[in-house]
């Protein structure tokens, strides 16, 4: 039988199509025209990862297609007889090169095809390639295991309803769903849209593109995980493919009829170790009897597609079982409940609301007790509002009042995990909504307590022995409780305000990122948050209590070597050991001499601008050029990976407000440029810091931004005009 014929035919067709489109584009734009996916340092990632070629201009695509042509077996497909896997797999890889070429050309010739956003918007359904900011955030979830893998859904489900069921099943299993192509004139993303399902990176349902070639965005995502987190060198295709096979748990679901082009893409995915499971018949792609497991499984009943695919891929999934009548898990965290979909809301400045986690004695906490005083959500009319007080009392032999804010911040995440529950804010500015759908399924207020009880008990098992949740919707009671809660917050803040680098004797390390930056050690200080922005000193301390052998270890602060620079012998020793001997010394308060290393997940980066005698700071979201002559992506590529680079450093955003921010270099006064949007986002923090540092509240407006320019001369003129303080600080060199 004509084995692999379909894949080879499909690949040949795609390569020919890419060739024609490229010829057309070359005619119109010429070989020097820039091409690529937006806001990325990985060029066209599949081509870059596999061949090492950096495609930046149209002309660069010609040799790529030449390679692709060479990979497609030349014999008429029907007569190919392949005694080994190679031919079909090579054809699959050729198909991916062609697909990536076609998608890159689409960005050039049909710029409105993709929204470039992280969720569908009025601009369109299809998102296109993930940019590097999305990759960092989401890729990390694959590394730390909070997302076990992804399903690439090609085509459409038998019905809209079936599409929703498939999406929900994947979400409940914490899988990402990447959607592309269509079948029978319909795509899965359109099916979900028709049913009002929220899509986007936040909900893990990602509509990549309408064409089958958009499948390459999913594989490009896997390639970038390998390059950025796995430390694979571009062009080292053997390591790359073995990384994706062993570490990236993805599979392809072929929904509906499978044509030659889909077959070719499927063969491409097989190279990465991603099996293909189909609900219809698939032309045989590979010779049977050769593979160690069945890479391609056809005619699987629609209902068991996902479980079958997980099984074939060897993906074991443990699902959070929280006894609530709605779906529950991190995939639902990003879902919002719009006003028109809501049954009831609480707080949000409309009714009194607050939430509080308190440490309590053993006698006052009855484990598992959940009480509600006041009316439940049945009592309000659809679209109504109620007051809500949430008090969580915790008893634990190892619980400390200092851990309260750490646990309290988790409330926001846990409540959002429930499908149809939406939560924002914290403390006495919280805002909660419950959707009509969740209400219809029987979700009631006590389920909020059920969620908090289950999650706090399981995730903080070693510090939490008993949990009790009290809920109230009774206006008088909520207001009275809230008054007490406010006093409680004030006492807590007063206690934490005196927390400083000086008055503790222990810092904490974080080595979570060593799984992909093996020599990187973050040291988290009371006045310096981890560079990813999500680990504070208190978080690290609590995490250490929870798991004494985990990646947060105490770093003793002893034997000061340089008080101004922030260097201690004991810290150096710790870092030397935990960086496997690669880093000898670190000074915490400067970036000019032995700065902390950067792993790659920093929220922002600081970089020297020598001509201005200061630093620029740029956030990950900023896609434009900086006065350093590089974009964030390019700068990030040169400082990540756990190496020490004086003059360059990754930081958490909150660090900008710290009294210790680059203290030894002159502090905030050194900041000469930052993106305008970032400046606005940070304005309250910056103004406070500037006032305390005696720089004047208008200091923030003396920092140049891209509206002033991205050339050093332009910003220098601005700085002189504004009498920026950096100009009169002592020279950096």
Q: Is the CB of residue 353 less than 8 Å from the CB of residue 430?
A: yes
- Closer residue to ligand SF4 in complex, CB, 653/702: 653
- Closer residue to ligand SF4 in complex, CB, 471/523: 523
401: Cα within 13 Å, side-chain hemisphere: 10
Cβ within 8 Å of residue 147, ≥6 positions away: 138, 141, 174, 175, 176, 204, 330
The closest residue (CB) to ligand SF4 is 530
- By CB neighbour count within 10 A (0-12 exposed, 13-18 middle, 19+ buried), where does 697 fall? exposed
DSSP bridge pairs for 297: 277
- By CB neighbour count within 10 A (0-12 exposed, 13-18 middle, 19+ buried), where does 733 fall? exposed
- Closer residue to ligand SF4 in complex, CB, 435/658: 658
| Residue 180 touches ligand SF4, criterion: CB under 6 A | no
Q: Is the CB of residue 467 less than 8 Å from the CB of residue 447?
A: no
How near is the Cβ of 601 to Ni ion at its closest, in Å? 3
How near is the Cβ of 598 to ligand SF4 at its closest, in Å? 8
Pick the piece of the chain touching ligand SF4 (CB under 6 A) from 3-11, 119-127, 416-424, 506-514.
506-514
Q: Binding marks (x or -) toward ligand SF4, 520..549, rule CB under 6 A?
A: --x-x-----xxx-xx--------------
Pick the piece of the chain touching ligand SF4 (CB under 6 A) from 177-185, 462-470, 507-515, 557-565.
507-515
Q: What gap in Å lies between CA 589 and CA 595, rounded to an integer? A: 8
**Helix 260-271 crosses helix 5-29 at what angle (to 10 degrees)?**
100
Q: What is the phi/psi pair of residue 307, to 5°?
A: -65, -35
Residue 397 has a CB neighbour count (10 Å cut-off) of 9
How near is the Cβ of 650 to ligand SF4 at its closest, in Å? 8
Both structure tokens of 376: 């439940």
How near is the Cβ of 491 to Ni ion at its closest, in Å? 33
* Residue from 388, 512, 575, 710 binding ligand SF4 (CB under 6 A): 512
Q: What gap in Å lies between CA 530 and CA 612, rounded to an integer? A: 28
- Closer residue to Ni ion in complex, CB, 68/583: 583
Residue 555 interacts with, from ligand SF4, Ni ion, none (CB under 5-8 Å by kind):
none
**Closest C-alpha to 316, from 144, 173, 501:** 173
Both structure tokens of 378: 């049945």
**Sign of the four-CA dihedral 559, 565, 571, 575:** negative
Binders in 579-618 for ligand SF4, by CB under 6 A: 599, 601
Question: Hunting for tokens 């959607």 — which residue is that?
Answer: 179
How near is the Cβ of 389 to ligand SF4 at its closest, in Å? 33
Residue 293 has a CB neighbour count (10 Å cut-off) of 10
DSSP H helices, 402-552, are 404-417, 436-440, 446-459, 475-497, 537-546
Residue 510 interacts with, from ligand SF4, Ni ion, none (CB under 5-8 Å by kind):
ligand SF4
According to the 3-state scheme, what is the secondary structure of 117-162?
CCCCECCECCCCCCCHHHHHHHHHHHHHCCCCCEEEEEECCCCHHH
How near is the Cβ of 203 to ligand SF4 at its closest, in Å? 23
How near is the Cβ of 535 to ligand SF4 at its closest, in Å? 4
- Closer residue to ligand SF4 in complex, CB, 267/607: 607
How near is the Cβ of 592 to ligand SF4 at its closest, in Å? 21
Q: What is the DSSP letter of 528?
A: B
* Residue from 177, 370, 510, 616 binding ligand SF4 (CB under 6 A): 510
- Closer residue to Ni ion in complex, CB, 41/120: 41
| Residue 513 touches ligand SF4, criterion: CB under 6 A | yes
| Residue 61 touches ligand SF4, criterion: CB under 6 A | no
Number of residues that bind ligand SF4 (CB under 6 A): 13
Q: Which residues bind Ni ion (CB under 5 A)?
A: 513, 532, 599, 601
Q: Binding marks (x or -) toward ligand SF4, 414..443, rule CB under 6 A?
A: ------------------------------
How near is the Cβ of 603 to Ni ion at its closest, in Å? 10
Torsion, CA 675, CA 677, CA 679, CA 684, rounded to 10: -170
How near is the Cβ of 522 to Ni ion at its closest, in Å? 6
Cβ within 8 Å of residue 142, ≥6 positions away: 149, 150, 225, 229, 248
- Closer residue to ligand SF4 in complex, CB, 156/542: 542
Residue 535 interacts with, from ligand SF4, Ni ion, none (CB under 5-8 Å by kind):
ligand SF4
- Closer residue to ligand SF4 in complex, CB, 512/704: 512
How near is the Cβ of 602 to ligand SF4 at its closest, in Å? 7
- Closer residue to ligand SF4 in complex, CB, 539/665: 539
Q: Which residues bind ligand SF4 (CB under 6 A)?
A: 510-513, 522, 524, 530-532, 534-535, 599, 601
């Amino acid at each position: 039988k004509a084995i692999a014929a379909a894949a080879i035919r499909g690949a040949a067709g795609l390569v020919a199509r890419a060739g024609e489109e490229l010829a057309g584009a070359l005619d119109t734009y010429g070989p020097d025209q820039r091409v690529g996916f937006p806001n990325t340092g990985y060029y066209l990632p599949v081509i870059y990862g596999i061949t090492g070629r950096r495609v930046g201009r149209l002309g660069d695509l010609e040799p790529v297609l030449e390679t692709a042509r060479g990979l497609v077996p030349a014999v008429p497909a029907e007569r190919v007889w392949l005694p080994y896997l190679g031919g079909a797999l090579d054809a699959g890889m050729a198909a991916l090169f062609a697909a990536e070429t076609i998608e890159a050309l689409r960005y050039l010739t049909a710029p409105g095809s993709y929204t470039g956003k992280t969720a569908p918007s009025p601009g369109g359904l299809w998102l296109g390639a993930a940019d590097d900011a999305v990759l960092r955030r989401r890729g990390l979830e694959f590394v730390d295991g909070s997302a076990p893998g992804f399903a690439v859904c090609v085509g459409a489900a038998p019905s809209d309803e079936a599409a929703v069921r498939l999406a929900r099943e994947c979400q409940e299993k914490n899988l990402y769903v990447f959607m592309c192509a269509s079948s029978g004139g319909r795509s899965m993303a359109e099916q979900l849209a028709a049913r009002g399902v929220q899509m986007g990176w936040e909900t893990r349902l990602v509509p990549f593109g309408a064409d089958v070639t958009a499948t390459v965005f999913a594989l490009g995502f896997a390639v970038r995980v390998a390059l950025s987190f796995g430390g694979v060198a571009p062009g080292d295709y053997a390591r790359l493919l073995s990384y994706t096979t062993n570490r990236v748990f993805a599979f392809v679901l072929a929904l509906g009829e499978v044509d030659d082009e889909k077959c070719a893409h499927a063969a491409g995915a097989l190279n990465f170790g991603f099996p293909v499971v189909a609900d219809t018949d698939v032309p045989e792609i590979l010779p049977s009897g050769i593979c160690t497991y069945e890479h391609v499984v056809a005619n699987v009943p629609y209902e068991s597609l996902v479980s079958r695919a997980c099984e074939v891929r060897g993906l074991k999934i443990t699902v959070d079982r929280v006894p609530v009548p709605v779906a529950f898990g991190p995939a639902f965290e990003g879902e919002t409940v719009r006003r028109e979909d809501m049954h009831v809301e609480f707080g949000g400045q409309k009714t009194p609301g607050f939430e509080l986690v308190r440490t309590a004695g053993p006698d006052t906490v009855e484990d598992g007790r959940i009480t509600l005083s006041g009316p439940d959500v049945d009592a309000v009319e659809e679209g109504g509002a109620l007051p809500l007080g949430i008090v969580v009392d915790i008893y634990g032999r190892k619980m400390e009042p200092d851990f309260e804010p750490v646990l309290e911040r988790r409330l926001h995440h846990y409540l959002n995990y429930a499908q149809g529950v939406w939560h924002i804010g914290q403390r006495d500015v919280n805002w909660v909504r419950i959707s009509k759908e969740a209400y219809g399924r029987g979700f009631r207020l006590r389920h909020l307590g059920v969620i908090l009880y289950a999650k706090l008990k399981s995730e903080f098992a070693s510090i939490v022995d008993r949990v009790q949740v009290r809920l109230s919707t009774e206006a008088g009671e909520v207001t009275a409780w809230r008054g007490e809660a406010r006093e409680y917050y004030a006492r807590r803040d007063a206690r934490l305000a005196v927390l400083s680098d000086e008055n503790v004797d222990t810092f904490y390390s974080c080595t979570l990122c060593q799984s992909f930056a093996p020599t990187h050690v973050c040291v988290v200080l009371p006045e310096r948050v981890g560079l990813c922005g999500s680990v504070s000193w208190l978080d690290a301390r609590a995490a250490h209590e929870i798991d004494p052998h985990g990646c947060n270890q105490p770093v003793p602060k002893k034997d000061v070597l340089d008080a101004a620079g922030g260097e201690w012998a004991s810290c150096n020793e710790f870092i030397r050991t935990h960086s496997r001997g690669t880093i000898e010394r670190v000074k915490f308060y400067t970036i000019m001499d032995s700065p902390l290393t950067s792993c790659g997940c920093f929220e922002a980066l600081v970089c020297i601008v020598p001509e201005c005698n200061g630093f620029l700071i740029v956030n990950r979201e900023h896609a434009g050029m900086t006065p350093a002559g590089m974009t964030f992506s390019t700068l990030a590529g040169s400082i990540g990976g756990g190496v020490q680079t004086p003059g360059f450093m990754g930081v958490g955003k909150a660090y900008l407000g710290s009294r210790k921010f680059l203290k030894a270099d002159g502090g905030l006064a050194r900041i000469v440029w930052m993106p305008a949007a970032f400046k606005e986002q940070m304005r309250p923090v910056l103004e406070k810091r500037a006032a305390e540092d005696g720089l004047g509240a208008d200091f923030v407006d003396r920092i140049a931004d891209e509206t002033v320019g991205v050339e050093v001369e332009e910003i220098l003129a601005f700085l002189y005009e504004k009498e920026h303080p950096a100009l009169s600080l002592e020279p950096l060199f």
